[in-house]
Chains A and B, each alone.
Chain A
Amino acid sequence: MINTIWIVLMAGGILVAGFQCLGLDYSSTAGLVMNPSFVPLNDLTKGLFDSAKASVNLAMGLIGIMALWLGLMRIAEESGLVKIFARAVRPIMIRLFPDVPEDHPAMGAMVMNIAANMLGLGNAATPLGLKAMQELQTLNKVKDTATNAMATFMALNTSSVTFIPATVIGIRAAANAANPAEIIGPVILATGVSTTVAVIVVKLLQKLPKYQVLEPQASSAESAGEEV
């Protein structure tokens, strides 16, 4: 999908610029007039090189801010602050994931993932999220089909429960914003809306007949056997 978008952006731009080189003038009284020129293509080429240069400047500006957050996150892990946070949100987690036992490792992994997302630390969030999925899979009776807990966890993840959008603050700081962090409040509000919608929709949809799990006889017998 990203390949399609990329080629449309890249080739679409070049084709449109090429078309503009014909310099067609529809408004002329003398009918369709052509004023051929290479200016649009020259501008395009200059634009491409400028964009390439700008992207590296941007990444260089990000190094310091990323280092700051990753350093702080490491302190929070070592001091056990992350664990304290996990304990604090336990009551919410039990309601969101009624099918997952309270002390199951899946709960801890999910809390850590959501906490990393809240702090805007995508690189810390992904490994923890994958761990959470593996733990949820151990509770799954039909292995090729998503459980309600998995779907809820995915809905939470994709609706992005963010409190500190660190990367985007970094970009704004690198661009010399008057107040790079001013977007935090609006982000918390907007993310609250999308997360609320995500939870409501996922809980409503899981009741629809269309999304019921068809548990084959063989697999239910198998899982019953495992429990014994």
Chain B
Amino acid sequence: MFQGLINGVSAVAIPILILAIVGHGWYKKVKVYEVFTEGAKEGFTVAVRIIPFLVAILVAIGSFRSSGALDLITSLLAPMTSWIGMPGEVIPMALMRPLSGSGALGIVSELTTTYGPDSLIARMAAVMEGSTETTFYILAVYFGSVGVKKTRHALPAALTADLAGIIAAVVVTQMVFG
């Protein structure tokens, strides 16, 4: 029942959203085709722009994994994370997510390719990617842009939310796909 509901939401979300956007655009007499292609042009730039970050992080992770160094670290942390149902392979993701968006994206990609997109590991990393954010980057850039130096309770609140998000991602993934 619960899983059926979740699957239902997942199934209808994107088709309905696309229909709503295109339908509303047509209703408002927007030249949907021209405007769409105008926006879509940026897709190439964005995808190409992330290549350096992907190469840097995928190669570094590749080094860490193919040498067996990652197994070493995860075997140290695994007893602590296993009681909430988090597989050791996802630990690097949880560690990287608050630090680097491109880094976390690299880890998700890597786990998805290595274990297959339909594995529990890849799904958990994907849910974690979607439900948490690059806290340090956002705080630094956003506060930096307006010259705020004393961030008060912003960082402790954000980090608590990250921890809650990571645990929630693990628990929900286990409930739905486990």
Interface of A with B (CB < 8 Å)? 1-2, 5-6, 9-10, 12-17, 20, 40, 43-44, 46-48, 50-52, 54-56, 58-60, 62-76, 78-81, 119-120, 122-123, 126, 129-130, 133-134, 136-137, 140, 143-146, 150-151, 154-155, 157-160, 162-165, 167-169, 171-172, 175-191, 193-195, 197-198, 201-202, 205-206, 208, 211, 213
Partner of A158, one of B99, B113, B161: B161
Are the CB atoms of A81 and B40 closer together than 8 Å? Answer: no
- A155 and B154 form a contact (CB under 8 A): yes
A181 to B38: give the CA distance in the assembly, Å: 25
Most buried by A among B8, B148, B169: B148
A-B contact pairs, 11 of them (CB 8 A): A6-B60, A48-B63, A59-B54, A66-B44, A74-B36, A144-B148, A160-B131, A160-B165, A190-B130, A191-B130, A197-B160
The distance from the CB of B6 to the nearest CB of chain A, in whole angstroms, is 3
User: Which of A12, A51, A146, A171 meets B154, CB within 8 Å?
Assistant: A146
Q: Interface 1/0s, chain B 105-130, versus A by CB < 8 A?
A: 11011101100111000110011111
List 6 A-B pairs, minimum CB-CB distance, nearest first.
Answer: A67-B43, A74-B39, A194-B165, A165-B130, A13-B63, A47-B66
From residue 149 to 178 of chain B, which have CB atoms closer than 8 A to chain A?
149-154, 156-158, 160-162, 164-165, 168-169, 172-173, 176-177
Which A residues are in CB contact (< 8 Å) with B28?
78-80
Q: When the two chains form their complex, are residues B173 and A74 in contact, meaning their CB atoms are under 8 A apart?
A: no
The residue on B at minimum CB distance from A66 is: B43
Interface membership of chain B positions 85-113, coded 1 if the CB is closer than 8 angstroms to chain A and 0 otherwise? 00000000000100111010110111011
A197–chain B nearest beta-carbon distance, Å: 4
Q: Is the CB of A171 within 8 A of B67?
A: no
Task: Please state if B40 and A70 are interface contacts (CB–CB under 8 Å).
Answer: yes
Residues of A within 8 A of B112 (CB): 171-172, 175, 177
Specify which of B117, B132, B147, B153 is in contact with A211 (CB 8 Å cutoff): B153
Chain B, 5-63, CB within 8 A of any chain A CB: 5-11, 13-14, 17-18, 20-22, 24-25, 27-28, 30, 32, 35-44, 46-48, 50-51, 54-63
Contact of B146 among A15, A72, A134, A206 (CB under 8 A): A134
A119 to B54, CA, bound (A): 22
Is the Cβ of A184 less than 8 Å from the Cβ of B57? Answer: no
A190-B109 in contact (CB<8A): no
Inter-chain CA distance A62–B51, complex, in Å, is 11
Q: Are A12 and B69 in contact (CB under 8 A)?
A: yes
CB-based contact B6/A189 at 8 Å: yes
Assess the A60–B47 pair: CB atoms within 8 A: yes
Q: Which A residues lie within 8 Å of B131 (CB)?
A: 160, 162, 165, 186-187, 190-191, 193-194
Residues of A within 8 A of B32 (CB): 75
